[in-house]
Chain A
Amino acid sequence: ETGVTQTPRHLVMGMTNKKSLKCEQHLGHNAMYWYKQSAKKPLELMFVYSLEERVENNSVPSRFSPECPNSSHLFLHLHTLQPEDSALYLCASSLAWEGASEQYFGPGTRLTVT
């Protein structure tokens, strides 16, 4: 596998379920990101990890819980979600947590909360 991969690609879950999204990057990057992309809304940065430390948390509800066990893997644990959490969740990575580093995105997980 090359680039940034995300699993699953599609997920349907009830409001009482617990699930996890997985992201893996094969680029040797040191920074990883979670974004939420909703229809008709701007891309929302949720979390940033640099060298496995969380460096950005943009007022995301506690029902979203990130985990970065190493610089290649990033998880987003989901529990008791709301229907408005339905969206495309994108993972990205960059060489460093620096402004000049472009981000490489995975294909996303399409989440539907019923």
Chain B
Amino acid sequence: AQSVTQLGSHVSVSEGALVLLRCNYSSSVPPYLFWYVQYPNQGLQLLLKYTTGATLVKGINGFEAEFKKSETSFHLTKPSAHMSDAAEYFCAVSGTGNAGKSTFGDGTTLTVKP
């Protein structure tokens, strides 16, 4: 069984401020972890993923996430928010025992204030 919890359904930051979106997971097998972004009227787009190896993963648009096994977390960060980062962000988990069945979090809507 696997699950994902995204803490905070809405996060608001000022332009230029740090972005931190939180994701905690549970999985009975070593997890594969993903962050996706969804802009209005579009599908989800992969930001980054963790499979094995280096626990700090860099993605597109300046985002990165760190896999912390001891904390069962995979938080998404960006040092400086841009207006174009306003979107909905989804964390997802899957595992070898679940094949293609990714479990998605409920999503976090990021608002960027000028």
A residues touching B (Cβ–Cβ < 8 Å)? Answer: 4, 31, 33, 42-43, 45, 48, 50, 55-56, 90, 92, 94, 96-108, 110
Contact = CB atoms under 8 A, between A and B. Distances in A.
B106 interface: yes
Interface string B81-114: 0000000001000111111111011110000000
Max chain B Cβ within 10 angstroms of own Cβ: one of A50, A55, A99: A99
B99 A97 contact: yes
Contacts of B97: 99
12 contacts: A31-B100, A42-B107, A48-B101, A55-B99, A92-B43, A97-B100, A98-B96, A99-B97, A99-B98, A99-B99, A102-B46, A107-B41
A99 B90 CA distance: 16
Interface string B29-58: 000101010000111111001010000000
A23 to B, nearest CB: 11
B43 A105 contact: yes
Contacts of B36: 105
A42 B105 contact: yes
Nearest to A49: B100
Interface of B: 32, 34, 36, 41-46, 49, 51, 90, 94-102, 104-107
B43 A107 contact: yes
Given A42-B105, A43-B90, A98 B42 contact: no
Contact of B95 (A97, A99, A106): A99
B100 A99 contact: yes
A16 B102 CA distance: 33
A34 B45 CA distance: 15
B105 A90 contact: no
Nearest to B102: A103
Contact of B44 (A48, A98, A101, A105): A105
